[in-house]
């Protein structure tokens, strides 16, 4: 029987430099990158999703990448589609004798790709859905937190009414799983880029200001005016598109939009951190790299590919308590 494919997974909170590390390792170990980002699959959404396409060709031979720029913005892409497409990409890359490198911060996608999933989801009740649609965002959050507090702690879409509504429907009824995917037959090395939270917050601010200066507002305007993406649909695409959309609708002035967006992205990074801790508690071994370089990620990849035992992770997020001084 053929050996299951070996893959490298590069993950971590937003604004920590995952793409640069993935490109460096892919170039060094003859790899191809598979994006594990829930938004980078969409075309015409470059600045707000942080595609950083130039990084794939900077500094040497261009590195092939997959699951980026492959879905129109008026289409829907979900967890099942990602797992299906990512597994196909991994099989094709391994079949070419190259190393699949999964890169992205959508922790749910990565967890489902590696461990499989079972999603509840029978048809919603129209009356119940109408009642939920009439609720304000804060009320929806309170409802979900009361129904499923453990799930809510790691729920990343607290400003997305559509996803909040569906999560509440599922939590209320605890339906029998309707969509399933078994665990993948991969040998995976998980590498996480780690910075202390205060540095992550600074990097988020610097990146946000750089994206605004690079034309993120114009990108969102073009999506709405040229590609016909409604402001309601832009809400679905996440924080950057939601808040810039509010600015374009004159619901927020520029400074308020920037400051509220910065705060929300920092909260999102905290929820990513919580999800990674959950993965660790459930048995995932993630080698967190301080600054993306310590311990040496290339040395870990070399040992992994050679089938040699790996050292224990030098740090685990579940052991870091931000109420105390941490590094």
What does the pLDDT read at residue 117? 79
Q: What is the pLDDT of residues 310-323, one digit of tens each?
A: 999 999 999 998 76
Q: What is the per-residue DSSP string for 49-103?
A: TT--GGGGTTTSSPPPEESSS-B-TTS---HHHHHHHHHHHHHHHHHTT-EEEEE
- Express as a percent the part of the chain with pLDDT over 90: 71
Q: What is the pLDDT of residues 175-200, one digit of tens each?
A: 544 456 777 889 999 999 999 999 99
What does the pLDDT read at residue 1? 44
Q: Summarize the confidence of residues 87-95 as an average pLDDT.
A: 97
Q: What is the pLDDT of residues 238-251, one digit of tens each?
A: 899 999 999 999 99
Residue 324 has pLDDT above 60, yes or no: no
Cβ distance 60 to 130 under 8 Å?
no
Residue 121 has pLDDT above 90, yes or no: no
Residue 3 has pLDDT above 80, yes or no: no
For residues 122 and 23, which has the higher predicted lDDT (pLDDT)? Answer: 23
What does the pLDDT read at residue 208? 98
How far is the C-alpha of 253 from the C-alpha of 236, rounded, in Å? 21
Q: Summarize the confidence of residues 214-229 as an average pLDDT.
A: 97
What does the pLDDT read at residue 159? 84
Q: What is the pLDDT of residues 98-114, one digit of tens each?
A: 999 999 999 999 999 99
Per-residue burial over 12-45, b if 16 or more Cβ lie within 10 Å, else e, is bbbbbbbbbbbbbbbbebebbbbbbbbbbbbbeb
Q: What is the pLDDT of residues 282-299, one digit of tens each?
A: 999 999 999 999 999 999
Q: What is the pLDDT of residues 46-88, one digit of tens each?
A: 999 999 999 999 888 899 999 999 999 988 888 889 999 999 9
Q: What is the pTM of this model?
A: 0.84
Residue 325 has pLDDT above 50, yes or no: no
What does the pLDDT read at residue 267? 95
Cβ distance 49 to 39 under 8 Å?
yes
Q: Which long-range contacts (CB under 8 A, 24 or more apart) does 314-320 make?
A: 314/287, 314/288, 314/290, 315/194, 315/288, 315/290, 316/280, 316/286, 316/288, 317/192, 317/194, 317/273, 317/276, 317/277, 317/280, 317/286, 317/288, 318/277, 318/280, 318/281
Structural domains present in the chain: 6-118+180-319 (3.40.50.300), 123-174 (no CATH)
Residue 19 has pLDDT above 60, yes or no: yes
Residue 277 has pLDDT above 90, yes or no: yes
What does the pLDDT read at residue 323? 65
What does the pLDDT read at residue 124? 67
326: pLDDT confidence band, cut at 50, 70 and 90?
A: very low
What does the pLDDT read at residue 129? 85
What does the pLDDT read at residue 78? 86
What does the pLDDT read at residue 85? 96
What does the pLDDT read at residue 163? 80
For residues 235 and 32, which has the higher predicted lDDT (pLDDT)? Answer: 32
Q: What is the pLDDT of residues 155-168, one digit of tens each?
A: 877 888 888 888 88
- Express as a percent the part of the chain with pLDDT over 70: 94
What does the pLDDT read at residue 70? 95
């Amino acid at each position: 029987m053929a050996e299951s494919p070996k893959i490298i997974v590069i993950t971590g909170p937003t604004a920590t430099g995952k793409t640069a590390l993935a490109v460096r390792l892919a170039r060094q170990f003859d790899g191809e990158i598979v994006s594990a980002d829930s938004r980078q699959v969409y075309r015409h959404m470059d600045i707000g999703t942080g595609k950083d396409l130039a990084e794939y060709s900077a500094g040497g031979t261009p590195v092939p990448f997959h699951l980026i720029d492959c879905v129109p913005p008026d289409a829907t892409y979900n967890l099942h589609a990602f797992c299906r497409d990512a597994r196909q990409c991994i099989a094709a890359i391994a079949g070419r004798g190259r190393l699949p490198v999964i890169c992205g911060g959508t922790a749910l996608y990565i967890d489902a790709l590696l461990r499989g999933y079972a999603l509840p989801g029978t048809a919603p009740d129209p009356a119940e859905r109408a009642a939920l649609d009439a609720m304000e965002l804060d009320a929806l959050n309170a409802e979900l937190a009361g129904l499923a507090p453990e799930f809510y702690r790691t729920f990343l879409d607290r400003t997305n009414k559509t996803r909040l509504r569906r999560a509440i429907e599922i939590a209320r009824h605890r339906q029998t799983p309707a969509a399933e995917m078994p665990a993948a037959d991969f040998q995976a090395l998980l590498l996480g880029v780690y910075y202390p939270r205060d540095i992550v917050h600074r990097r988020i601010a610097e990146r946000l200001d750089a994206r605004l200066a690079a034309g993120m507002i114009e990108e969102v305007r073009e999506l709405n005016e040229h590609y016909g993406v409604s402001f309601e649909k832009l809400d679905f695409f996440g924080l950057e598109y939601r808040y810039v959309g509010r600015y374009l609708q004159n619901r927020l002035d520029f400074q308020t939009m920037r400051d509220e967006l910065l705060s929300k992205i920092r909260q999102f990074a905290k929820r990513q951190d919580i999800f990674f801790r959950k993965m660790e508690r459930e048995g995932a071994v993630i080698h967190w790299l301080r600054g993306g370089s310590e311990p040496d990620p290339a040395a870990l990849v070399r040992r992994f590919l050679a089938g040699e035992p790996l050292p224990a992770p030098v740090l685990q997020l579940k052991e870091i308590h931000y109420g105390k001084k941490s590094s």
